[in-house]
Structure 1
């Protein structure tokens, strides 16, 4: 054969086949009673990439992740790992196949040590079949050194901050040496410094060829860490785009199917008399000499780094943890609020930070969760009977107003997405018609469409004369919604800024004082 013929054959030869993706989802369908959560969904994850999964609450993201993690079994469709079909019938199946998931709600054993949590079910044993605690500690130290995590392996989980627990959960997932790592809202309780640390870990894993599925509602994070985006809406796959090819507005438009023109619809409303006055409020060992006023129609933002004492102040105002000293005055009357019932009787409502532990009753349905705060209110007649029809009607209207995605009011709340659970809790307190509303992280874990709706609702309430204290870790939310911003650092208020004087630099300088 001539040299020319050989060259022609080389030119005509087909290119070598591409290697299959690390993970491929094909035509997945999953239905629950009364609702189709996923409808013919497809998704592809490449090795060595961070793939952001986007969508409103109820879009199907969490359901798909639980299918990939073996928590749910799909009704139809196929899962392929490296081109090979697999059946994942339990989380252990998924872990053994190289798939690990870090859940939004942490699943650690509070009374066990950090090391015991990381290696649970895989503990090293000595020749007598007993757990080798020294080897357990050494393995954990080696893992933490590799991830640059500074946490004592022998510390009990219950003694750690939420942020430290999140890092333990991440280390636990990495310890399985999984090829596919699913992160669901991993930065919800992390400071900016800890987020940067997490991103270093993610980049290291990406360089090792791992595939990472990343779910968050914080847009600024996504453009920093994601290589690709996939968007879901109402249980259907919409599109996949390279991060370099789309803008924030493009993503929002695909997620919600409409334009969102104003994320922070702050309106100028009349500011009335002082409704809540706090002077030198102290909870020994937690916060000290906290003083501020909130007027009717005013939104006072409470900012500060994680651990600054913001949530503790809110809990003390509502009587969850009674103050050691100081005074609380409501509409000119000084009050001792040592239990939530007194706070509610004074017209106060409190949306807590942690919907799982202190908000939702997960085994109850939506109706029962929403009406809990008003069962001794206007819905009880003089004979002590609950006016069930009127109560149910108002709960249904509140769910419609907040766009809670559910097949019905008798759906168990733990079956809802985290964002829809949050909407139910917001509805619970709005039913009480409060004059003072304390919101602790009101939009944590909620998609951009729902955030805009809740922000609009908060502005409406301010327009109706409600005095609002809003705690948030998201700086744009604090700056966009507040009339004034109070900033905390290590248990003390370091400054209160008017809206016109508040910007990210001024707030952070007070928060890190």
Structure 2
């Protein structure tokens, strides 16, 4: 790209607005420049996704206009936008899981001859596309359904890295990626900048914005409240502009005083995925769970909830007294999630959309689904009671919505996550298992969720929290266990851990042995603010 072209406007937005029952976007004017990354940030529900979808033809604006390279731009569909080089990697994956990686990458341009797909050519083209983002080790013939969710996200990104791209919108692209995958993505972003591509980078991860963005635009309540150069901007400034209120940090908290054991597992295992884990969850504390991809963290949580059947070991529910007397044994784990729920255990799943919510149903139904007995009598649903409970939960968790009748599919990611939390608050579980509870959640909603976790521990609940973000675990947890190769290889008490020691344990083998020195292991880890999960 010629030097005199750098910084030229590629896409201009003028007074963009979108109304549903109420305005969700109002009077947003922006310019996207060639060869730069514009960070777009704000709380969940601020209008980021709506604005991005308007740019990419997925949503039609109520008012305002756009210019692409100085010409009127009003795409009627995503295909229309893509024909003009405007593409979007959405937070919700759009892959066809029954097709292969190669077929997904080239779905709209499959090489063929006489009506037959040319498989050799297809796989050759797919391999080139995968190599761009460091996935050259994946067989293009692999069905997408067999990939992990992070690898699926990388395939979605690879599908949109086309040579004719003029504008690329990335909506929370690293939410499910490891640091290594994130590094590959950032390398591609730098190459796209050199080609003059204008990039909109939507994210809540402020440390990433500082690494990759040239400018930052902040949305709040559908309005553009700030646009500035990213250099020199402090995280605290961005947070203040995003939420419009003070957000309390949890760094340096005192260790909670743990109560008696509420749940314990002995020798729990499933094939080689989870290998003979012993773990105790205590009243009034949060235990964190860190580890690398494939370490068995999510699989352990699923065994403790009965979502997967263990083939050895036991889970024991205790009575909550200092003597921690067992009140219920589950040989080889719970038979089903329902048995675990009846025992007082809840699970906030890693994937709220496919596993945690009934997307087409309203907030009212989703928030009360875990305990229908509390809102029914003699087999009949008590609608007034259901509405009363739902309204209380919406108010308690500050769920931003038009009403309790709003379908959860229309809520922002952070508010959807709050609805999942509401379900288990309604159930009043003794033990809550949390798998990536703040993934894709903005700083304001995250602070609300952290405050709720504090209230739960104050009430004597036991929490187990899986997170890819080591800073989150170190800020919130009283103990942190580290998984490696299916085993729980180390447990650190608050005050004992460092980021280095946690990463060294995560990179150890299943016996807890760290290859080389701890310093070597830590220095080999990519830019760790996360446990590569």
> Which TM bucket (shorter chain)?
over 0.9
2:186 aligned with 1:191? no
What is residue 6 of structure 1 aligned with on the other side? none
Matches within 5 A, 1:206-221: 206-221=193-208
In the alignment, which of 2, 7, 17 is matched to residue 29 of structure 1?
A: 17
Of residues 342, 355, 360, the one that matches 1:358 is: 355
Highest CA radius of gyration, 1 or 2? 1
Residues 6 and 196, structure 2, Cα contact 8 Å, conserved in 1 = no
- Match 1:404 to one of 399, 404, 420: 399
Cα distance in 2, alignment partners of residues 18 and 482 from structure 1? 46
Give the Cα separation in 1 of the matches to 2:5 and 2:39.
Answer: 27
Q: Does the 8 Å CA contact 1:302/1:469 hold for their aligned counterparts?
A: yes
Find 1:142's aligned residue among 128, 132, 138: 128
8 Å contact from structure 1 (residues 276, 330) kept in 2: yes
Any conservation in 1 of the 2:256–2:478 contact (CA below 8 Å)?
A: no
Q: Match for residue 75 of structure 1?
A: 62
Three-state SS of the structure 1 residue aligned to 2:9 is coil
Between the two proteins, the alignment pairs up a number of residues equal to 494
| CA deviation profile, 1:147-191 (whole Å, cap 9, x unmatched) | 443222111111112121111111100136311111111111111
| Alignment equivalent of 1:450, drawn from 416, 421, 445 | 445
In the TM superposition, what whole-angstrom CA distance separates every residue of 1:395-418 from its partner, at most 9, and x where no partner exists? 111111211111111111111111
Equivalent residues in 2 for 1:117-196, closer than 5 Å = 117-126=104-113, 128-150=114-136, 151-175=138-162, 177-196=164-183
Within the alignment, does 1:372 sit opposite 2:369 as a pair?
yes
Does the aligned pair in 2 maintain the 1:270–1:463 contact within 8 Å? no
Give the secondary-structure state (helix, strand or coil) at the position aligned to 2:266: strand
1:306 and 2:293 correspond: yes
- Aligned counterparts of 1:234 and 1:469: Cα–Cα separation in 2: 33
Asked if the contact 2:100/2:143 (under 8 Å) is kept, the reply is yes
Query: SS state of the match for residue 48, structure 1?
Result: coil
Residue among 446, 463, 466 paired with 2:461: 466
Residue 344 (1) aligns with residue 360 (2): no
Measured in 2, the distance between the counterparts of 1:391 and 1:287 equals 39
Q: CA offsets per residue over residues 216-253 of structure 1, 9 Å max, x none? A: 11111111111110000000011111111411111111
Q: Aligned ranges for residues 41-440 of structure 1 at < 5 Å? A: 41-126=28-113, 128-150=114-136, 151-175=138-162, 177-263=164-250, 266=253, 269-331=256-318, 332-333=326-327, 334-336=329-331, 337-376=334-373, 378-381=374-377, 383-440=378-435
Distance 1:179 1:363 in 2: 35
Cα gap change, 1:79/1:293 in structure 2, threshold over 3 Å: closer, same or farther?
Answer: same
Relative to 1, partners in 2 of residues 1:138 and 1:211: Cα closer, same or farther, differing over 3 Å?
Answer: same
Indicate the SS of the match to 2:495.
helix
Q: Describe the SS at the equivalent of 2:61.
A: coil
3-state SS of paired residue (1:456): helix
Q: Could you say if the C-alpha distance between residues 274 and 72 of structure 1 is closer, same or farther in structure 2, counting changes exceeding 3 Å?
A: same
1: CA distance between counterparts of 2:105 and 2:71? Answer: 29
Q: CA RMSD in A?
A: 1.7
**TM-score of the superposition, structure 1-length normalised?**
0.93
In the aligned structure 1, how far is the partner of 2:473 from the partner of 2:222?
32
**Structure 2: unaligned runs, 5 residues or longer:** 319-325, 509-533
**Corresponding position of 1:12:** none
1:308 partner SS:
coil
Q: Find the partner of 1:500 among 482, 495, 503.
A: 495
Would the alpha carbon gap of residues 268 and 505 (structure 1) be closer, same or farther in structure 2, given more than 3 Å must change? closer
Q: Is the 8 A contact 1:100 1:176 kept in 2?
A: no
Q: 1:512 to 1:285 in 2, by over 3 A?
A: same
Q: Distance in 2 between matches of 1:69 and 1:322?
A: 43
Compare 501-510 and 389-398 and name the one that shifted more. Answer: 389-398
What secondary structure, in the 3-state scheme, does the structure 2 residue paired with 1:261 have?
coil
Structure 1 spans left out of the alignment, 5+ residues: 1-15
